[in-house]
Structure 1
C-alpha cells in the first residue's frame, strides 16, 4: 500500500499476513483519512512498515501480534497519528519496535504490551513505558516527544535505557497531575553511554510546561549533580560545596539557612568573648559585628573598630572565609538562574 490514500478506515482486525523474514505489510507513505484498525487478533509474520505514514485518526493495535524474530517487527519512523497510537492491551512484538520521529496527537500507549527482542534494542519511542508492559533486551528511546505518564506505581525499567529526545521541541502536554518527578529520574540514569544532560533538560521543560516548577527544579538539580559527579576531583569538590549551600541555585533557601546559622553562632560567641576595642567612639554590637565579618564588600564599621585576638581571631577568619565562599556560590546560583530565565 505504498503511497496509497485511504478514506475513512483501514480495517485489518482479525487479518493474518505471512511473509517470514521479509516485509509482510508495507504501508510506507500511506495516507489514511480516518482510523487504522488492527485489533482483535491481527497476526503478521514478517516486518510491518509504516514509514512516514499519516493517519488522521487513531491507530488501534490492541491485541495484535507482530512477529519478526531477529529483526524489526514494526518500523514506523516518521509516523504521524492524529490521535491515539495504541500499542497496548495484549499487543505483542517479537522483534524490535522502531518509532524514531513518530508523533501522536494524544499519546502513545504501551499499557500491558510485550516487546521481545533478546540481544537487540526494542524502541518504545514517544512515551514512557507503562508499569504493566514488559520489555526484553535493552531499550533505546530516540527522537520522540517525552510525555509524563501517570500511575500509582513507580515504573519498572530495563537494565539499560539510552534516552535521547533529539532537538528541543514543544513538550507534549497532558491533562491531570504531573506525577512524581523523583520517580522519573532513574529512567535518565541508566544510559550505557554515560551521562547526557539533554534528556534532563527536556523532562524539566515538560514539567515547566505543566506548571510544576518545583519538579522541574528537582530534575535540573539531579542533572547538575550527575554532571558534577563525572567531572574532575576539584570540580566535584566545588560542586559539593554548591550543592550543600545553595543546591546549585535551585535551592536558594539553603543559603539563607547557612547565613542565619553562622550569624547565630557568631553572635553568641562574640557576645561572650568580646574583641578588643580599637575605636572608643563605636559601641560593640555582636550581631552587627558578625554581619560585618560574614558579608563581603559591605562595611558596617564594626570590623574596623574592634581587633580580635587568639581564638577570636581564628573565629573571625572562619566567618570571613565562610562568607566569601557562601557569597560566591550564591552568585554562581543566581547567574545560572538568570541564564535560565
Structure 2
C-alpha cells in the first residue's frame, strides 16, 4: 500500500522507516504536551502494525518510535500483529488496547499513558512496560505471554482504591514476570495466574492500605516468588497458591495498612521454601493454616502478634530457639492441638525426644486454660504431680518429700498399739510408706493408730497416696493415648 495522504512529517518518517525497522527519534524524553513536530496519530501506528505498508525483503519490519506524542486510541483489539512494536519515551493521550490480539514483541518502555488493556492478548515475544508511568489500570486477564512480562521500574496509579492497578487473573507467562522496583498504587490481581519463569518483585512497592495489595489466590509459580526488599501496604493473599521453589520476603516490609487485617494470607498454600525474614516486625496477622511447606526460615524478632498455624505442616524449621517456637505456635487466639503435635513430631524427627515431650506438655497446659473450672483444677493437679505423665519423676519426688515428713512426725509422736501382743515392731519410715501406698503392704497401718494432731497427718498421707497413684496412672494413660 502506498503512503496514505494527509500524513504529518513525523508520520511520514515513521511510514518510511517501517519496512526496514529503523528507529524514528522525535525526542529524548516524553513530550510534556502536544508538540506539533512530535505528534503521531495512533491510527497510523495501528495501520502499520496490521500490515498496511509493504515490507522490504532482507529486513525485519517494525514500528520503532522514540519521543512521540501519540494522539487517539492505539486500538488493535482482536487483530493479528505480525510486527514488533517498540515505543520509547512516548506520551500516549489515550489508553492502549491490545485485547484479544495476537502479537509478537511489544515494548512500551519509559512512556506515559492512561492505561493498557491486554485482556486475552497472545504474544509470541515479551510484553514490556518497564519504566513507564501509567495513570490507570493495566489489564492482562487471560493473556498468554510466551516471552515474559517486564514491568521493571513501572509506576501504576489508579484513582479509586477499589480499582485494580494490575488486573491479570488467569494470565500465563512462560519466561517470567519481572517487576523489580515497580510502584503500584492499587491492588495487583494474579488469581489463577501461571508464572512458569518465576515472579520477581524485588524492591517493589505495592500499596493498597486496608485492602488487597496482591491477590495471588490459586496462583502457580515455578522457580521463585521473590519479594525481597519489597514494601507491601495491604494484604498479600496467596491462599491455595503453589510455589514450586522459594517464596522470599527477605528484608521486606509487610504492613496490612489497617488494624485487624492480615498482612500475609497464605493458608492452604504449597511451597518448597518460605523465607519469612523481613526487615522489621510484620504489622498484621500472618495466616499459614493448612499449608504444606518443606522448609520454613524465619526469626522471632519479626513475627507478628497473631499467627494462624492450625493445620500447617512442614519438614524443617530454621531460626528461633525452643522457647521461641513454643511462643510461635501459641500466637493463635484460638487454641488448637495440631500445631503442638506438628512441632512435637518435628523435634522427634530430628532426634530430640526431650523437647518433643516438652511440646506435648505445653500442649496440655494450653488446653487446660480452655477447660471448665473443675477440669482446670484436675489438670493442674496432674501437672504438679506427674507433669501429665511426661514427668513421672515428679510423683516420686513428692512421694520422697512426704515420706520424709511422715517419718519425722511419727518418730516424734508414735501411734498407739491397736492389739498389744500381736503388733510388729514400729518403724516410722515403714509406717509412713504403708499410709502412702494405697494397699496395706507392710502391716504397720493396721497395727498402729495415730494419736492427736498426727492423726490428721495420717489422713492426709492416705489421701495424698491415692491422689498420687491416680495421677500417675492417668498421666501414663494420657501419654500412651494422647488424643
* Same-fold status (TM-score > 0.5): yes
Partner of 1:18: 156
More strand by share: 2
Moved more, 58-67 or 322-331: 58-67
| Segment drifting more, 178-187 vs 232-241 | 178-187
Structure 2 partner of 1:296: 438
Aligned pairs for 1:162-201 within 5 A:
162-166=307-311, 171-174=313-316, 179-192=320-333, 194-201=334-341
- The higher radius of gyration belongs to 2
Per-residue CA deviation, residues 52-105 of structure 1 (Å, 9 max, x unaligned), is 5566776543322233344212222344556654333x1111221012234545
Q: Distance in 1 between matches of 2:298 and 2:164?
A: 37
Instruction: Give unpaired runs (5+ residues) of structure 1.
Output: none
**2:465 corresponds to 1:323:** yes
Q: How many Å separate the matches in 2 of 1:205 and 1:164?
A: 15
Equivalent residue for 1:136, pick from 256, 266, 283: 283
Shift of 1:322: 1.0
CA distance in 1, matches of 2:289, 2:346: 16
CA distance in structure 2 between the partners assigned to 1:184 and 1:207 by the alignment: 11
Bigger fraction of residues in helix = 1
Q: What number of residue pairs does the alignment pair up?
A: 329
What SS class does the counterpart of residue 394 from structure 2 fall into? helix
Higher-RCO chain (CA-CA 8 Å, sequence separation at least 6):
1
Task: Normalising by structure 1, report the TM-score.
Answer: 0.78
Matched position secondary structure for 2:371: coil
When the two structures are superposed, what TM-score results if normalisation uses the length of structure 2? 0.58
Query: 2-side partners of 1:245 and 1:100: how far apart?
Result: 44
Q: Aligned partners of 2:443 and 2:287: how far apart in 1? A: 62
Deviation at 1:296, TM superposition (A): 1.8
1:101 aligns with 2:243: no
Q: Note the aligned Cα RMSD (angstroms).
A: 3.6
Report what 1:312 is aligned to: 454
Cα distance in 1 for residues equivalent to 2:222 and 2:317:
17
Gapped runs of 5+ residues in structure 2?
1-139, 268-273
Instruction: For residue 330 of structure 1, give the secondary structure of its aligned residue in structure 2.
Output: helix
